[in-house]
Amino acid sequence: MVEKTTFTVDTKCYHCGDDLPAKPYNADDKAFCCLGCKGVYQILTKHHLSNYYAYNDVPGQTQKKTPQHFDYLEDEGIAAGLIDYKDEKVTVITLFIPAIHCSSCIWLLEHLHKINPAIFQSRIDFLKKQVAVTFKNQEISLREVVELLEAIGYEPLISLQDVVKKQQSDHSERHLMTKIAVAGFCFGNVMLLSFPDYFGLTSFEQNFKYFFGYINLAFSIPVLLYSARDYFISAWTNAKRGILNLDFPLALGIAVMFIRSAAEIITNTGAGFVDTLCSLVFFLLIGRWMQQRTYHYLSFERDYRSYFPVAVTLIKNGAEQPLPLNELQTGDRILIRSNEIIPADAILLKGEAKIDFSFVTGESLPVEKVLGEVVYAGGRQLTGAIELEVIKPVSQSYLTQLWNNEAFSGKRDTIKTFSDTASKYFSIVLLGVAFCAGFYWIGSDINKAVASFTAVLIIACPCALALSSPFTLAAVLSIFDKNKFYLKNTAVIEELARIDTIVFDKTGTITNPEAEAYELRGDLTAAEKQMVSDLARNSGHPLSRELVKALNIPPIYPVDHYMEKVGRGISGWVNGQEIKMGSAAFLGLDLSERGSVVHLVICDRYAGYFLSKQDWRPGFKQLALKLAKTKDLHLLSGDHDHDKQLLTPFFPRAQQLHFRQSPQDKLDYITALQSAGSKVMMFGDGLNDAGALRKSDLGIAVTDNINNFSPGCDAILDGAAFQKIPQFLKQAKDAVRVIHMSFVISVLYNVVGLFFAVQGLLSPLMAAILMPMSTVTIILFTSLTARYYAHKNKLL
């Protein structure tokens, strides 16, 4: 019997998992998609860090990117704004690294000292995607540390906003956790000391009973004055403005519980409600922590400074030197390399400028500039290096003025939640019932009147109501997170349920940036595809870039006699053969053209053509048709209307498709919709959408990489989850339904408690049972029901 041997062929990069090209890069019998991934593997192997690949399959990030220039980190002024601490020997800096995503990342970044011993230590904050690096500044510079991180595939994200903002840690979450710890500690001890009262141990020494009562009262003081402090401040602040928010009945219930407990313990007439007080505050703080949960590694309040580089390359006396962006002045001559951002309005002095303004204007096609023409800030240079002369400082550039437009930066009204609405009526009803119970008994028994009055305020304290929204919305937030939909806070979910009008941007939002923009009509051999790819690689035109990306072939042949006619076509000799690509007129062909067609001629032989095809995001057609049944759909695009006919079937009314829209036009359109009573949700992706995103009731930034720059917004949607928008809307409506149902459950518990409270029969044991029981019921009900609806909506 002959044993068969099966050979497997690698189709994925060993480092990052991307598809391998036709001719992969190999090292140690392992295949890589690019030289960058191969280089990272070789660095790790050289320093005996190969275990990086042992913890996770393909843990690395793709290295197919433009090399970065970090020479600006040599500038002491810039470095001083970034570092956390520095003395004569040691420097400490915290860097944000978007590529951190798994245990292999943590292992590698905490072993940087093995690659360079000058790095003393490195510590990872996984949730915030940050690494704190401590290094010996006499042996390695900040620039070398950053370049080392880039070399192993963990390039830090450093923007102007990192330097401008003061590096102050937000201690609010830490303070909240401390308050929870204090309340939890006191709650546990009070429960332990209250067991004799719970079980009615008559043989219990009376002196110990009083002693334990005073200890319980002592435990309640830090809970009252520290853990519950924010509820009293909020209730008082809002009451002065005539607003009864949910914190008012909570603070009132906590205060009454403490006062009555202190009176009973001091007068030896009862055990008080200290255990109920501590448990109430403990669970309320947990609910607040759930409500404040957010994503540390995402920024929803970005501005133009996040988009701009920290420094630029200044040309002075023929020499290049880094210059902090805030020191850039009118008349300075700067060098902008390929794929770099133009930070200020300037005049083109040298080089061929092909600028991608899609992020600023929404126009999908690059703009070509001639010498002496003004180039506005915010564009990205696509091919080669250019030299510019600054005509306006950064603070006065078109992009900065666009962002600082008062209409763009204005704050919208706070999102109204169900808890805010219900609390107004709840507080009035609660006080009414309490006073009625007190007045009913005051004529016959003053003690019973006080007992019933305080008992109503204690048992009807809206603990369950206060917890229903946070736990429901936190569960939904977690579900959205798993589906790559990241919300700024839990209140956004309730606003999402109210939306009736949806406005889409086009370029980068509903278009698929990863799709091939052109398809080949014709037969080409592998050798001919190689030559076409090598020729197209020399051009910065979008078609050329798409061809190179689609063919995915490493360069082999140099190009001789290369020529490019702007807007017409390119030609050159590759491997001894003349190749021409472009319009029919450029190639001398007598052919009628429809749409964007690029013809191909090889050695005077017509070899076919590339046909433009606009590709939308996966599922966009089904999504638009489904949303149109219940929502009013609109399109606002800064692009030209060449895709209007393609988009018309997706939108119910053609007059709601608007093209050539400036940022101000988009903002005005959103304002007009809101004036007509619509609840508007805007989907956008660029700075040209910033004003509209802010003005809309809900602004959602769509991105194919959540770590890339996105304008200020209420939520960030990963492009991979774009087709799930109807499911997200349905889940939000279901979440509000769960909150309403949990409110009914909490009211039922209150009715049971009020039955005893109005009669003055509420005992500490009954309160200790009812309140935790209602809390646990609400937590279980909201969490389980939210997950049930998630399964129903196919989000789990």
- What's the pLDDT tens digit per position in 495-528? 899 999 999 988 778 887 665 556 677 788 888 8
pLDDT at 3 over 50: no
pTM of the model: 0.68
pLDDT of 297 above 50 = no
- Asked if the model's pLDDT at residue 727 lies above 50, the reply is yes
Residue of higher predicted confidence among 93 and 396: 93
As given in the structure block, the two tokens for residue 403 are: 């962002």
pLDDT digits (tens, 9 = 90+) for 538-553: 776 656 766 777 777 8
pLDDT band of residue 389 (cuts 50, 70, 90) is very high
Query: How far from 688 is each of 136, 140, 344, 492, 702, CA to CA, in Å?
Result: 44, 41, 16, 23, 13
Report CA dihedral (211, 214, 219, 221) to the nearest 10 degrees. -170
Distance (Å, whole) CA 51 – CA 128: 24
Predicted local confidence at residue 695, as pLDDT: 85
Of the listed ranges 50-64, 242-256, 441-455, the least confidently predicted one is: 50-64
Question: 636-661: b or e for each residue (b if 16 or more CB lie within 10 Å)?
Answer: bbbbeeebeeebeebbeeeeebbbeb
**Per-residue model confidence (pLDDT) at position 169:** 43
Give SS3 for 532. Answer: helix
State the pLDDT at residue 540: 61
pLDDT at 181: 93
If you average pLDDT over residues 614-643, what whole number do you get?
84
Q: How many Å apart are CA 472 and CA 32, to the nearest integer? A: 45
Give residue 118's pLDDT band: very low, low, confident or very high (50, 70, 90): very high
Of the candidates 396, 29, 689, 236, the one whose C-alpha atom is nearest the C-alpha of residue 701 is: 689
Packing angle, helices 725-757 and 446-459, rounded to 10: 170
Higher pLDDT, 476 or 461: 476
Least confident of 43-47, 442-446, 512-516, 656-660: 512-516
How far is 216 from 197, CA to CA, in rounded Å?
12
pLDDT score at 664: 81
Share of the chain above pLDDT 70, in %: 81
Across the range 734-747, mean pLDDT stands at: 87
Give residue 110's pLDDT band: very low, low, confident or very high (50, 70, 90): confident
Name the more confident of 351 and 359. Answer: 351
Residue 635 or 520, more confident: 635
What's residue 198's pLDDT? 64
* Greatest mean pLDDT among 213-217, 454-458, 562-566, 786-790: 786-790
| pLDDT computed for residue 6 by the predictor | 38
H helix or E strand, kind and range, residue 684: strand 680-684
Chain segment 682-699, per-residue pLDDT in tens: 998 766 777 788 889 998
Tokens of 656: 């709601």
Residue-wise pLDDT for 399-432, tens only, equals 666 555 544 554 555 666 677 677 677 777 877 8
Q: Which residue has the higher pLDDT, 568 or 542?
A: 568
Q: With 0-12 CB in 10 A as exposed, 13-18 as middle and 19+ as buried, what is 346? A: buried
pLDDT confidence of residue 410: 47
Q: Among the ranges 347-361, 442-456, 728-742, which has the highest mean pLDDT value?
A: 728-742
Beta bridge partners of 323: 312
Q: Express each pLDDT in 64-83 by its tens digit.
A: 555 556 877 887 877 887 88
Q: Give the per-residue pLDDT at 399.
A: 63
Between CA 153 and CA 100 the distance in angstroms is: 10
Q: What mean pLDDT is reported for the chain? A: 79
Would you say residue 166 has pLDDT above 50? no
**β-strands 501-504, 632-636: how paired?**
parallel
Alpha-carbon distance of 753 to 770, in angstroms, equals 7
Residue in this structure with the two tokens 């009913």, named with its chain if needed: 440
CA–CA separation, 695 and 666 (whole Å): 10
Dihedral sign, Cα of residue 252, residue 254, residue 259, residue 263: positive
Segment 264-283 shows an average pLDDT of 85
